[in-house]
Amino acid sequence: MDFDLSSEQSLLKETVDRWVADTYGTLAQIEASRKAPLGFSEAAWLQLADLGLLALPFSEADGGFGGGPTETLVAMEALGRGLVPEPYFASVVLGGAAIRLAASSDQRQRLIPSLIDGSLRLAFAHGERQARYDLADVATTARGIDGGFVLEGQKSVVLNADTAGMLVVSARTAGGQRDRAGISLFLVPTDASGVSLHSYGTHDGGRAADITLSGVHVPQDALLGTEDEAFAVISRIIAGAIAALSAEAVGIMEALNALTVDYLKTRKQFGVPIGTFQVLQHRAVDMLVALEQARSMELYAAMMAEAEDPVARDLAMSAAKVQINRSARFVAQQAVQLHGGIGMTMEYLGAHYFRRLTMIEMMFGDTPHHLRVVADAGGLA
């Protein structure tokens, strides 16, 4: 067993950590980017391209970096700590996985270079409002016509859709609304006729959109992967997403715990630092325990995200997400509590961490959802 990073991975970590500290070391820097017209900084996005981070998940044959879940983990921890507003998760982790796992060589050649140089961003338009966390619940349809497909339906909370050039859309080509079989993925330009976006800010300072597809015509080569068989790809995309979010959450919890411990040492009430009160010491220790438990499951998630056996993989991802969610909730709540009033304001970085951790909890399965998955499977064998 080896829990250490390789020398290349350590180098990657140093690079990303330094960039994050320089670019998003303060709340003012984060907020300045959020307030930009795109909801993030175009310049910072291109810096991520220059650093090679946008190439991270693509194979070397495709001109990428050939990174796996561990490289993504290293990047996401740092991006989490910096609450980096650029749509790395939406475009590279979710969208990039769809391309990596399902695109034909023709599609790869067409898309990957512009994904790597930052000129094209993707959004993953899969979730629908009624579906909650059921990955197979797809009511959007794609009807085959001569030379292509026509898409109809609605997608909800599509992360960073308004600044993506291309959407990866799931739609039903066969079967009933909640069948695993019969789902397909399509590449749909965001400005295609019949696509309309209702964009809004999310509660973590990011952006998302609800998307209506009405009579959207796409050519045959917009089909991504095998018709009717996208569920397996979607599950793999989500497994990677859960691993990435786990890493982001750990990065945030680590930073939030550090802020809190620092505050306990400096804030004085009753003439002493509040960190001298034993109840607060113990609470901070419980926060550390929660972080370490989360970190272990973060590593487990990275190890299992690309496991061959889909059953074992998905069970592992559910287990990881439960632990991450629980730790995130505890750490977030206690951090606010231990800060008192200061923890309740948007002028304080900790409050932004709180909000992002809450949203991570609610994405791709909350605690009850994943707990049920594990329970339905009879637990972890």
Partner 1 sequence: MDLSFTPEETAFREEVRTFFRTEIPAYIRAKVSEGRPLARQDYVTSQRILNTKGWAVPHWPLEHGGQPWTPIQRYIFTEELMQAAVPLPLQFNCYMIGPVIAAFGSSEQKRRFLPRIANLDDWWCQGFSEPGAGSDLASLKTRAVRDGDEYIVDGQKTWTTLGQYADWIFCLVRTDPDAKKQAGISFLLIDMKSPGITVRPIITIDGRHEVNEIFFDAVRVPVENLVGEENRGWDYAKFLLANERTGIARIGLSKERIARIKRLARTTSAGQGCMWDDMDFRSRVASVEIDLKALEITQMRVVAAQAKRSDGKPDPASSILKIRGSELQQATTELLLELAGPNALIGAASGDLRNDLNAEFDWVDAAAPTYFNTRKVSIYGGSNEIQHNVIAKAILGL
Ligand X SMILES: Cc1cc2nc3c(=O)[nH]c(=O)nc-3n(C[C@H](O)[C@H](O)[C@H](O)COP(=O)(O)OP(=O)(O)OC[C@H]3O[C@@H](n4cnc5c(N)ncnc54)[C@H](O)[C@@H]3O)c2cc1C
Single-letter amino acid, residue 99:
I
Q: Does 381 bind ligand X (CB under 6 A)?
A: no
Query: Does residue 274 bind ligand X (CB under 6 A)?
Result: yes
User: Between residues 333 and 358, which has the closer beta carbon with respect to ligand X?
Assistant: 333
Give the separation between CA 5 and CA 9, rounded to whole angstroms: 6
Which two structure tokens, joined as six digits, stand for 202? Answer: 């999310």
Residues touching ligand X, count (CB under 6 A):
12
Binding-site member from 340, 346, 375, 376 for ligand X (CB under 6 A): 340
Please tell me whether residue 266 binds partner 1 under the rule CB under 8 A: no
Nearest Cα to Cα of residue 376 among 320, 319, 329, 294: 319
If one asks whether residue 333 binds partner 1 (CB under 8 A), the answer comes out as yes
User: Per CB under 8 A, does 174 bind partner 1?
Assistant: no
**Residue 329, SS3 per DSSP:** helix
Interaction of residue 245 with partner 1, rule CB under 8 A? no
Stretch that binds ligand X, among 43-51, 76-84, 138-146, 275-283 (CB under 6 A): 275-283
| CA separation for the pair 329, 335 (Å, rounded) | 10
Q: Residue 301, Cβ neighbours under 10 Å: how many? A: 29
Binding mask 124-163 for partner 1 (x = CB under 8 A): ---x-xx-xxx--x------------------xx------
Q: Does residue 344 touch ligand X according to CB under 6 A? A: yes
Cα torsion 242, 172, 368, 82: sign: positive
From the list 197, 187, 139, the residue with the least C-alpha distance to 167 is 187
* Torsion over CA: 367, 171, 39, 117 (sign): positive
User: Is residue 267 involved in binding ligand X (CB under 6 A)?
Assistant: yes
378 touches partner 1 by CB under 8 A: no
The item of ligand X, partner 1, none sharing an interface with residue 132, based on CB under 5 to 8 Å by kind, is partner 1
Is residue 347 part of the contact set for ligand X (CB under 6 A)?
Answer: no
181: left (phi over 0), alpha (psi -120 to 50) or beta: beta
DSSP code for 68: -
With contacts defined by CB under 8 A, name the span among 25-33, 64-72, 179-187, 262-270 that binds partner 1: 262-270
d(CA 66, CA 74): 14
Residue indicated by tokens 């795109």 = 38
Residue among 23, 67, 75, 52 at smallest CA distance from 247:
75
Q: Are 302 and 247 in contact (CB under 8 A)?
A: yes
Q: Counting contacts by CB under 8 A, is residue 269 touching partner 1?
A: yes
**Is the CB of residue 358 less than 8 Å from the CB of residue 253?**
no
Q: How far apart are CA 85 and CA 352, in angstroms?
A: 12
**Helix runs in 24-55, H state only:** 27-35, 42-50
* Least distance in angstroms from the C-beta of 345 to ligand X: 8
- Our finding on whether 347 is near partner 1 (CB under 8 A) is yes
Is residue 294 involved in binding ligand X (CB under 6 A)? no
Q: Name which of 146 and 347 has its Cβ closer to partner 1.
A: 347
| Binding test (CB under 8 A) with partner 1, winner from 119, 196, 226, 337 | 337
d(CA 293, CA 91): 29
Binding-site member from 10, 35, 50, 200 for partner 1 (CB under 8 A):
200
Please report whether residue 368 would count as binding partner 1 according to CB under 8 A.
Answer: yes
Residues near ligand X (CB under 6 A):
267, 269-270, 274, 277, 279-280, 337-338, 340-341, 344
Residues near partner 1 (CB under 8 A):
127, 129-130, 132-134, 137, 156-157, 178, 198, 200-204, 208, 210, 268-271, 277, 279-280, 333, 336-337, 340-341, 343-347, 351, 354-355, 358-359, 362-364, 366, 368, 372
